[in-house]
A and B are shown apart, each in its own frame.
Chain A
Amino acid sequence: MELPNDRRYTQSHEWAKLDGDVVRVGITEFAVEQLGDIIFLDLPEVGTAVRAGAAFGEIESVKAVSDLISPVTGEVREVNEKLMDDLDAFADDPWEAGWMIVVAPEDPSELDGLLDADGYAAKAEEA
């Protein structure tokens, strides 16, 4: 499994990438494959407070609805509104164009507690 090394990962298949003083959040390619055809995304509004380990939104596929879990605590600064218009494009590039939200973290060092690419790859392979 090839994974970008420029970011951190959660057990629940989100990625978090430090981008200056904000954190960009999305879900991994593995998650997208597991979900199957995605039909709906429910993302928060700009200004929403998110908490590490708590749901910030929902993703629905033909198989199931899953929570999107925030990797960090902070405030939502940007939301990728374009995703809902083209869910196939999102599924094709979950690493870059498919980012979901940008969070201003309370404590950027929170990222250090998450999995690195190797740790996540091991976890995903075991699943």
Chain B
Amino acid sequence: MAEPTLFDLSQPGKRCITMPQPARAPEQYLPEGQLRAEPPALPEVSEPEIARHYARLAAWNFNVDRNFYPLGSCTMKYNPRASEAIAAEPGWARLHPATPEECMQGALRLMRDLETWLAAILGMDAVSLQPPAGAAGEFTSLRVFRAWHDSHGDTARRRVIVPDTAHGTNPASVARCGWDVTVLTSDEEGRVSPDALRDVLGDDVAAIMLTNPNTLGLFETHVLEIAEMAHEAGALMYCDGANLNALLGHARPGDMGFDAVHVNLHKTFSTPHGGGGPGSGPIAVVAKLEPFLPAPRVRRAGEGTRTTGGEGALEWDWDRPQSIGKVQAWFGNFLVAVRAWAYIRSMGAEGLRQATEDAVLAANYIRRALEGELDLPYPATCMHECVFSAKTLADERGVHAADIAKRLLDYGIHPPTMYFPLIVEEALMIEPTETESKATLDQFIAAMREILRDAAEQPDLLHEAPHTTPVRRVDEVNAARKPVLRWQKT
């Protein structure tokens, strides 16, 4: 690698700043058992060296501020500066979570607002902001489902039905919840069919997890019938909300018969992710599940409540005997909620609706432009993302989805998601989001066309890609088989 580590740069005696000598020796401050035998082997470098080291690494970093990032199902939107500026306000950023309620009314109000808005967007009755990521939202929802079933003495339900197009986190959440996964095969259109569901549904099914639109970018058109069948069998309906960007202001999981849904604030509501910050995966539920949501909940003080903030103030409600308990330290990733609040506030209802329209339009624009160039196994009009396959190219030219993805890096474009969903061989899953201008989409399409032409004429150009990145193609197989997890001095 072209950039040495700080340990490689280290020279004995170098310092960023010179600290005054302590007045007493270390053993005068600390008991003997807590003293190190030797000082730690920290790198010794000057401040300019450290600053330049990180600036160089940052310049190599691929991020949505610099380039197109069509990573399917990840909704890599631009993160507006206004949201960042608002979240950086010291009133939010420096607020201690243990601050007495009467001194944090603004923060409580913000959380209450965001809960209310998300409930309206999703068509649900109650929201918890606690889960710190999408998968955590899934897991929390399943625990809420389990608590609800248990509260009816209905403890024999063991199975959760998950379609074969689902995100891998769905079966993982089921297993983590102590339940068993039943995989449901999608029909030839790429959707869940009520007929297929009938074969696996039974009175031992606790829930059905459905992503809508699914990971092929297709709306699950039978969702109402599926929800009716599930409820008739005594099961609950879970919506994986990772693809919510296709629905804002147009359709609501609550109206589709879902009992719970998670939202990735770091996708749909444009807070940073992919290494840019922690996630946040609030869940929204129907009224009957509200008592089981994680504690505490924000409530308005009324008669008999203990707040010192007075009548009408907001306070934490910890007295939730049916709650599944806490799922995250304090109240969730609060500063992510602030960014999402700012995003929703600045977009407004019309703006969110428009964002979804533009996201769907952009995905279909790419789908139509490239449909003659790559295989399109599910050719219907898509929603926020489209899934191509490089199968013909792989069979005929030995050029795989991964080779196309790596070559895109040479054009300054982040690769799409590869080899997912699992039911599409050689999958390339492209989600442009509403962020991108037509000019950017056209550049991407032109790059793809050139790459596909090269795939036919000079396939090694793709096999050896990327050519222009600081680190060339890595040995993924060896890295996975024999991972080196810790740097060691050589």
- Contacts from A to B (Cβ < 8 Å): 34, 37, 39-40, 60, 62-65, 87
B52 within 8 A of A: no
Tell me what chain B mostly uses at the interface: helix, strand, loop, or mixed. loop
**Complex contact A62–B422 (CB within 8 A):** no
- Contacts from B to A (Cβ < 8 Å): 168, 419-420, 422, 425, 476-477, 480-481
Chain B residues, Cβ within 8 Å of A62: 476-477, 480
Known A-B contacts: A34-B425, A62-B480, A63-B419. Give 7 more (CB < 8 A).
Answer: A37-B476, A37-B477, A39-B477, A39-B481, A62-B477, A64-B419, A64-B420
The complex places the Cα of A98 from the Cα of B480 at a distance, in Å, of 20
Chain B residues, Cβ within 8 Å of A40: 480-481
Chain A residues, Cβ within 8 Å of B476: 37, 62
Q: Which of B168, B419, B481 lies at the interface centre, i.e. has the most chain A CB atoms within 10 A of its CB?
A: B481
Chain A residues, Cβ within 8 Å of B420: 64
Nearest CB in chain A to that of B419: its residue? A63
The complex places the Cα of A36 from the Cα of B481 at a distance, in Å, of 14
Tell me what chain A mostly uses at the interface: helix, strand, loop, or mixed. mixed
In the assembled complex, how far is the CB of residue B159 from the closest CB belonging to chain A, in whole angstroms?
A: 13
The complex places the Cα of A39 from the Cα of B422 at a distance, in Å, of 17
Q: Can you list 6 A-B pairs, Cβ within 8 angstroms, ordered by A?
A: A34-B425, A62-B476, A64-B420, A64-B422, A65-B168, A87-B481
**Complex contact B480–A39 (CB within 8 A):** yes
Nearest CB in chain B to that of A65: its residue? B168
Chain A residues, Cβ within 8 Å of B477: 37, 39, 62
Nearest CB in chain B to that of A66: its residue? B422
The complex places the Cα of A60 from the Cα of B476 at a distance, in Å, of 13
The complex places the Cα of A66 from the Cα of B274 at a distance, in Å, of 25
The complex places the Cα of A37 from the Cα of B419 at a distance, in Å, of 13
In the assembled complex, how far is the CB of residue B447 from the closest CB belonging to chain A, in whole angstroms?
A: 24
The complex places the Cα of A37 from the Cα of B422 at a distance, in Å, of 16
In the assembled complex, how far is the CB of residue A92 from the closest CB belonging to chain B, in whole angstroms?
A: 15
Nearest CB in chain A to that of B480: its residue? A39
The complex places the Cα of A37 from the Cα of B168 at a distance, in Å, of 20
Chain A residues, Cβ within 8 Å of B480: 39-40, 60, 62
The complex places the Cα of A60 from the Cα of B422 at a distance, in Å, of 13
Chain B residues, Cβ within 8 Å of A60: 480
In the assembled complex, how far is the CB of residue A60 from the closest CB belonging to chain B, in whole angstroms?
A: 8
Chain B residues, Cβ within 8 Å of A39: 477, 480-481
Q: Which of A39, A65, A87 lies at the interface centre, i.e. has the most chain B CB atoms within 10 A of its CB?
A: A39
Nearest CB in chain B to that of A60: its residue? B480
In the assembled complex, how far is the CB of residue B184 from the closest CB belonging to chain A, in whole angstroms?
A: 15
The complex places the Cα of A37 from the Cα of B420 at a distance, in Å, of 16
Nearest CB in chain A to that of B478: its residue? A39
Chain B residues, Cβ within 8 Å of A63: 419
The complex places the Cα of A83 from the Cα of B477 at a distance, in Å, of 16
Q: Which of A37, A60, A62, A65 lies at the interface centre, i.e. has the most chain B CB atoms within 10 A of its CB?
A: A62
In the assembled complex, how far is the CB of residue A34 from the closest CB belonging to chain B, in whole angstroms?
A: 8
The complex places the Cα of A65 from the Cα of B476 at a distance, in Å, of 15
In the assembled complex, how far is the CB of residue B462 from the closest CB belonging to chain A, in whole angstroms?
A: 17
In the assembled complex, how far is the CB of residue B490 from the closest CB belonging to chain A, in whole angstroms?
A: 25
